[in-house]
């Protein structure tokens, strides 16, 4: 059964070969032996850098089921997911991840692709991204400054007061 779901994720990835604005990263979300969401990397087509196959499969599953939690579901991805996609999987409760291509395979793919068109060059490798995301905010290479914290805490307090 696992092979069937992975084959579907790879088939979705293969659709990118003839679909402008897509990349070969497909994913399916599975719960109780049934595909409940599918996605293809449409970042370029949608002008949305978060439109990865895994994210779109999660969005599709949540929309189909009218939920924001996919607790216990599995995700099958044609490539090892990036940090953004992994964070989304944790956020919605994905229990298990199955993937085909490794991060090194994706790095080689983007290196070859960017040789032909520099727009595909990545500012940061998957490994570098994982390292940065895992650091405390003050240690990351991206500058960050906290401001107006008391104002935001007041909004949190007001929200709780109204909704509890």
Q: Which residues are catalytic?
A: 54
Length of the chain: 164
Of 36, 40, 100, 39, the closest CA to residue 74 belongs to 36
> What's CA 52's distance to the chain center, in Å?
5
Query: Is the distance from CB of 128 to CB of 102 less than 8 angstroms?
Result: no
Taking the CB of residue 25, how many other CB atoms lie within 10 A of it? 29
Q: Residue 83 class from Cβ within 10 Å (0-12 exposed, 13-18 middle, 19+ buried)?
A: middle
Phi, psi of 145 (to 5 degrees): -135, 125
Query: Is the distance from CB of 80 to CB of 101 less than 8 angstroms?
Result: yes
């Amino acid at each position: 059964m696992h092979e069937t779901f992975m084959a579907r994720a790879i088939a979705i990835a293969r659709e990118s070969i003839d679909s402008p604005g897509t990349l070969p990263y497909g994913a399916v979300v599975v719960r109780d032996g049934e595909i409940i969401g599918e996605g293809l990397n449409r970042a370029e087509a949608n002008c949305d850098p978060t439109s990865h196959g895994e994210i779109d499969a999660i969005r599709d599953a949540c929309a189909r089921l009218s939920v924001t939690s996919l607790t216990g579901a599995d995700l099958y991805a044609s490539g090892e997911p990036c940090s953004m996609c992994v964070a989304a999987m944790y956020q919605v409760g994905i229990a298990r991840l199955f993937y085909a291509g490794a991060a090194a395979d994706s790095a080689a793919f983007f290196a070859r692709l960017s040789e032909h068109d520099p727009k595909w060059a990545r500012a940061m490798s998957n490994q570098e991204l994982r390292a940065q995301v895992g650091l405390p905010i003050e240690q990351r290479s991206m500058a960050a400054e906290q401001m107006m914290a008391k104002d935001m805490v007041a909004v949190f307090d007001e929200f709780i007061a109204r909704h509890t």
